[in-house]
Structure 1
Amino acid sequence: MDEQGRSYATGKRKNAIARVWIKPGTGKVTVNGRDQENYFARPVLRMLLLQPFEVTDRVGQFDVICTVKGGGLSGQAGAVRHGVSKALTYYEPALRPPLKAEGFLTRDSRVVERKKYGRAKARRSFQFSKR
C-alpha cells in the first residue's frame, strides 16, 4: 500500500508484462490510458480481467489502472489478471486462499519455444524430398 491507498503488483504471461495498481473505487478498469472496452475488444479477454474480483466477491469495489507491454492481447489479458490477483492479496491478505485455489497467483511459465537451426520451425522439419 502506498500513500495514495493503492496496491501495486506485477503480472506476467507469455511475453507480456503488466504493472497493476488497484485502489478502492467503482470498478473502472484502465489499460494503457484507455478504457478496457476499447483496449480488449473481445468479451473473453475482458472476462479474464474480472475473474479475480468475481472469485473474491469484490466486483465493482476496486478501480484498476495498469500498463501492459509485450506479447499479444491474450497474453496481456492474462498478465493483467495475474497482476490484479497479486495486488488484491497485497491489499487484503485474507483473499489469498480463494485466489490460490483458482490458480490466479501462479505465473503460467509456458512461452513460445525458440526456432532451431536445420528446422522449419521449433520442431517441424523441412519437407522431405524423395528425388
Structure 2
Amino acid sequence: MADLSSLAELGQATSSEPAAPVHVQKLDKYGRAYATGKRKDAIARVWIKPGTGKIIINDKEYDQYFARPVLQMILQQPIVASNRAGQYDVIATVAGGGLSGQAGAVRHGISKALTYYEPALRAVLKKGGFLTRDSRTVERKKYGRAKARRSFQFSKR
C-alpha cells in the first residue's frame, strides 16, 4: 500500500503543471527552412534561407509572377510584420487555384517557414493571423440548382 500512495503523490506532482510547448528550429541539410502553405485550391512549397531579400516564385521574380500590387503586398505581409525585410531569400513553387489563392498560399508558407527558422517570431506571426490556414473554399454545386445556392428561375406558366 505504501508503494501505491507514493505513486499517487508522484502523479499529482507531475500533472499539476503542464509543460509549455518548446518550438525548435527546423532546418534541412542546406540550412533552409521548408514549409507548405495552402489557400483555396493552391498549394505552395516554400524554402527560406538567409540572404538579400529576393523572392522567387516558380523560377520568376515575385513582382513579375504577381503583377498586381495587392498580391505583392499580401506576399510581403509576414516579412514586414516580423521586421525581417531584406534578411531572407524566399524560393517558392506554387500550383493550383488562381493568382489570389496562390498569393495567400505563399504567404501562409512564408509565415510557417519563418517560424521554423526563427521560433521566436511565432508570437508575432500568430497575432497577425498569418499562421492560420484560411479554410474558405468554393462551395460545391448542388443537384437541382443552377450554382451552389442559386436556384433556377421560377416560371409560373
Q: What is the TM-score with the length of structure 1 in the denominator?
A: 0.99
Show the counterpart of 1:122.
148
Give unpaired runs (5+ residues) of structure 1.
none
Give the counterpart of 2:121 among 86, 95, 98.
95
1:83-103 CA deviation, whole Å, 9 max, x = no partner?
A: 000000000000000000010
Distance 1:108 1:25 in 2: 29
1:28-76 CA deviation, whole Å, 9 max, x = no partner?
A: 0000011111100001101111110111100010000000010000000
Give the counterpart of 1:74 among 100, 104, 116.
100
Deviating 4+ runs (over 6 angstroms): none
> What SS class does the counterpart of residue 46 from structure 1 fall into?
helix
The higher-RCO structure (CA 8 Å, 6+ apart) is 1
Residue correspondences, number = 131
Q: What is the TM-score with the length of structure 2 in the denominator?
A: 0.83
Distance 1:39 1:57 in 2: 24
1:124 to partner: Cα distance = 0.3
> What SS class does the counterpart of residue 23 from structure 1 fall into?
strand
CA RMSD of aligned residues (A): 0.5
1:16 to partner: Cα distance = 0.3
Letter in 2 for 1:40: F
Distance 2:74 2:49 in 1: 19
Is 1:45 the equivalent of 2:71? yes
Larger Rg: 2
Show the counterpart of 2:136.
110
